[in-house]
Amino acid sequence: MDKVRPYLKWRWLTINNIDYEFTDYTMIPNVPIRYKVAGSLTLERKLNTQIPDEDQAIEW
C-alpha cells in the first residue's frame, strides 16, 4: 500500500527471458527501423482500491 494514498495497492509483474524483434515502418516514411529486445521486463501497476472495476482502477 502507498503511505501517502493508502487506498492505492501496488502490483508488480516480471516477465523473464524476453527475446523480441520489431520493425517500425511508421516512424519515418520509407525507412524501416528495427528494434531487438532481450532480457527481463518488470511492469508496475498502482490500483485504486476505491474503484470496484479493476481495469478502470489502474492509475497511470
What pTM was computed for the model? 0.56
Three-state DSSP class for residue 32: strand
Secondary structure letter of residue 27 according to DSSP: E
* Rounded mean pLDDT, 1-24: 90
Sequence letter at residue 22: F
Report how far residue 10's alpha carbon sits from residue 45's, in angstroms, rounded to the nearest whole number.
6
Residues in the chain: 60
- CA 49 → CA 2, 7, 37, 38, distances in Å? 11, 5, 34, 34
Q: Report the percentage of the chain scoring pLDDT > 90.
A: 70
**Mean pLDDT value across residues 25-52:** 94
Residue ranges of domains in the chain: 8-59
Q: Are 32 and 22 in contact (CB under 8 A)?
A: no
